[in-house]
Amino acid sequence: MTNNIINVLAVFTGGGFGAVLRYFTGLIIVSDKFASAPATLCVNIIASFIFGAGFGYFYSRTNIPPQFKLFVTCGFCGGLSTFSTFAFETLKMFESHEIVPAVVYIGLSVVLCMIAAGAGVYITGRGL
What single-letter amino acid sits at 78?
G
**CA-CA distance, 106 to 85, in Å (whole number)?**
12
**pLDDT value, residue 1:** 66
The per-residue pLDDT for 61 is: 83
Confidence (pLDDT) at 34: 54
Please, where are the H alpha helices in the chain?
Answer: 2-28, 37-58, 66-70, 78-80, 83-95, 99-123
Tell me how far CA of residue 68 lies from CA of 19, 86, 96, in angstroms.
17, 27, 42
Residue stretches of the chain with pLDDT short of 50? none
Torsion of CA 12, 18, 24, 28, to 10 degrees: -170
Q: What is the pLDDT of residue 76?
A: 97
